Amino acid sequence: MSKRFLPFFICLLAIAGLRAEKVYDAASYGVVPNTEADVAGLVEQMLAQVKAESTDKAVTIRFAPGQYHFYPKDAAHREYYISNHDQHKVRAVGIAIEGFTGLTLDGAGADFIFHGRMLPVSVVGTTKCTLRNFSIDFATPHIAQAEIISNDAEQGITFRVAPWVNARVTEHGAFEHYGEGWAMRPGWGIAFDPTTRHILYKTGDIGTPVHQVQQIDEHTFLAPAWKDSRLPVGTIVAMRSYERPSPGVFVSHATDTRLENVKVHYAEGMGLLAQMSEDITLDGFCVSLRGDNDPRYFTTQADATHFSGCKGKIRSV
User: Which pLDDT tens digit goes with each residue over 130-168?
Assistant: 999 999 999 999 999 999 999 999 999 999 999 999 999
pTM: 0.92
> In whole angstroms, how far apart are CA 102 and each of 22, 95, 317?
11, 16, 22
- The answer to whether the beta carbons of residues 250 and 264 sit under 8 Å apart is no
Give residues with Cβ within 8 angstroms of 19, minimum separation 6: none
CA dihedral of 99, 112, 72, 48, whole degrees rounded to 10: -30
pLDDT in tens, the chain (317 residues): 555 655 554 454 444 444 468 999 999 999 999 999 999 999 999 999 999 998 778 999 999 999 999 999 999 999 999 999 999 889 999 999 999 999 999 999 999 999 999 999 999 999 999 999 999 999 999 999 999 999 999 999 999 999 999 999 999 999 999 999 999 999 999 999 999 999 999 998 999 999 999 999 999 999 999 999 999 999 999 999 989 999 999 999 999 999 999 999 999 999 999 999 999 999 999 999 999 999 999 999 999 999 999 999 999 99
From 113, 175, 111, select the one nearest 144 (Cα to Cα): 175
- Is residue 267 classed as helix, strand or coil in its secondary structure? strand
